[in-house]
Amino acid sequence: MSLLIGDNVVASIHYTLTNDAGDVLDSSDGAEPLAYLHGANNIIPGLESALVGKTAGAELNVSIAPEDAYGEVQPELVQVVPRAAFQGVDEIEPGMAFEAQDPQGQSRRIVVKSVAGDEITIDANHPLAGEQLNFAVQVVDVRAASEEEIAHGHVH
């Protein structure tokens, strides 16, 4: 009997992620399959839900709305900060990415959106926030997770 994808199993998948325009955003093509611990929030919720009950060899195409992926764009995460906030950085240009601490002490990726003199507009939204995500997935393997993997919340 084939093992079904569900909580506390390790699933290995090949995938291609595209946006609604058909642009490939990410893919495991030419690489090892992505192995993840199901039920441990290691992949976006919409994809995890779509994989429940699948077995090795299954292929599926799934379209995931922003609320089941990286969320909607949050306007409050786009802010204007002074150039002084970038201590030790001589050149600041649109598109540059930095790691910053949010007020809760969590590390967040921020992207420079624009530079106007000493005013720098940054965006702390996930780059795929607000995007409809389309996955073509092939389930390569499904196995029981080890006690250690379950305790640690990720594949070893």
Q: Do domains 9-70+128-152 and 75-123 have the same CATH topology?
A: no
pLDDT digits (tens, 9 = 90+) for 91-115: 999 999 999 887 788 888 999 999 9
Chain-wide mean pLDDT for the chain?
Answer: 94
Give the CATH class of 9-70+128-152.
alpha beta
Q: Determine the Cα–Cα distance for residues 14 and 101; give it in Å rounded to an integer.
A: 33
Give the whole-angstrom CA distance, residue 85 versus residue 101.
12
Domain spans in the chain, listed from the N-terminal domain onward: 9-70+128-152, 75-123
DSSP 4: P
Let me know if 5 is exposed, middle or buried by CB neighbors in 10 A (0-12, 13-18, 19+). buried
In the CATH hierarchy, which top-level class contains the domain 75-123? mainly beta
- Can you say whether residue 117 is alpha, beta or left, with left for phi > 0 and alpha for psi between -120 and 50 degrees? left
* pLDDT tens digits along 52-73: 999 999 999 999 999 999 999 9
Would you place residue 136 in the very low, low, confident or very high pLDDT band (cuts 50, 70, 90)?
very high
* Arithmetic mean of pLDDT, 14-38: 96
Whether the predicted pLDDT of 30 surpasses 70? yes
Give percent of the chain with pLDDT exceeding 90: 88
- Name 13's Cβ contacts closer than 8 Å, sequence gap at least 6: 28, 33, 34, 36, 51, 137, 138, 139, 140
